[in-house]
Chain A
Amino acid sequence: MNFAVLQFPASNCDQDALHVVKNVLGQSARFVWHKENSLAGFDAVIIPGGFSYGDYLRTGAIARFSPIMQAVQTFAAQGGPVLGICNGFQILCEAGLLPGALIRNRSLQFRCEHVFIKTATNDGPFSNRIPEGGLLRIPIAHGEGCYFADEATLDQLEANRQVLWRYATATGEATDQSNPNGSMRNIAGISNEARNVAGLMPHPERASEPLLGGSDGRLIFESLISWLQARVAKVA
């Protein structure tokens, strides 16, 4: 499969994302600079973490107007899978491709630590290799990761099973104490209604090799690859 890893000024998890997809999982991948305006030939798009445009105005607010984001809109509208990690999640919310917004952590602190996230659904491209309720131990590193949406939107997310992961304890309980940033309903990651666009604050690309202290994050990328392979098989 062919992956695009987007690069904005001040993306800083782009190398890690490309490394995992290419060297750990053996897929083809290349960086796509934000000034480019086509995603032709790619099977999946990863919007990596970082501080695009210095987080000026709001996180992700300026990046969403980069030329490549128009191509992402088209790619997503055609059903192509798009995964936003950390700043990528923030950009997807600002772009309106995902509902809600990510605001300043409840603690006002930048949180950089390993957390547990519980898989709420394994329906769709990003979690199909993880059992429902499955726990992943993945690091977070953000100052603006508190997921916010109004109650009606949150209810809709739950009803459509668009919540993919929630912050939880090591035993899988989504408690307030296990919530590192104050996210509503402990939400760590969601998808759009069509399920092909997803975002999460934790960094699966930093947890895809045992050498880095854990490889739970790899399951998210493997889910995406399985989903793409199944899609090709269906067409063939």
Chain B
Amino acid sequence: MDGLVHPTSFRSTDMKAKIIVTPKKAVLDPQGKTVANALEQMGYQGIGAVHVGKYLEIELPSGDAETWRKKLDEACHKILSNPVIEDYRVEIE
């Protein structure tokens, strides 16, 4: 066995991690700026800065949420985000 749980064996009661990765405020975000400009041009006046990031959903077998949070925190630091340019947030539900 490879130790991985096959996705089809998941039940609806299993957990899900939501990971949100956004560019750090100090990092130039031309994509966010372009989206903000487009919104303004479409008439959505008065909006503030827009930050375009990434959203990842990870299916998890049921288990201890805190243990998963620690593991995913490590994964975010190692690969899912680049701490030089990005911030991340892990939510488990």
Give Cα distance in the complex from A146 to B31, angstroms: 13
CB within 8 Å of A: which B20-35 residues = 23, 26-28, 30-31, 34
Q: How would residues 146 to 169 of chain A score, 1 for a CB under 8 Å from any chain B CB and 0 otherwise? A: 101110000000000000000000
- Would you call B85 and A108 a contact (CB within 8 A)? no
- Does B42 sit within 8 A of A, measured CB to CB? no
Closest Cβ–Cβ distance, residue B24 to chain A (whole Å): 9
Number of A-B contacts (CB under 8 A): 37
What interface size band does chain A fall in?
Answer: 20 to 34
**CA A182 – CA B27 in complex, angstroms?**
11
Q: Is A76 located at the chain interface by the 8 A CB criterion? A: no
Q: Give 23 CB contacts A-B under 8 Å.
A: A57-B79, A58-B82, A61-B79, A61-B82, A62-B79, A65-B79, A93-B84, A99-B84, A100-B84, A101-B82, A101-B85, A103-B28, A105-B30, A106-B30, A107-B30, A108-B31, A108-B34, A148-B27, A148-B28, A148-B85, A150-B84, A182-B28, A182-B30
Extra pairs beyond A103-B85, A104-B30 (9, CB < 8 Å): A61-B79, A100-B84, A106-B30, A107-B30, A108-B30, A108-B34, A146-B28, A148-B85, A149-B84
